[in-house]
Structure 1
Amino acid sequence: MSVPTRTEPRPPGGGQPGAEEHDALPRGGGHVGLPPPVPAPRPPFPGASALGSPIGSGFLVVSGAVRAAARERGGPAAFEIEYDEDDEQGDEVLTAPWRRATHALLHAAMALGAPHLTAEPDRAILTGPWRAIGNADVGPGRGPAR
Structure 2
Amino acid sequence: MERLKDKVAIITGGAAGIGKSTAALFLKEGASVMLVDINKENLESTSKELDSQHLAYCVADVSNPADVERYTAETISKFGKINLFFNNAGIEGASSSIEDYPNEVFDKVIAVNLKGVWYGCKYVIPKMVEGGSVIITS
TM-score for both structures, normalised by structure 1: 0.23
State which structure, 1 or 2, has the greater radius of gyration over its C-alpha atoms: 1
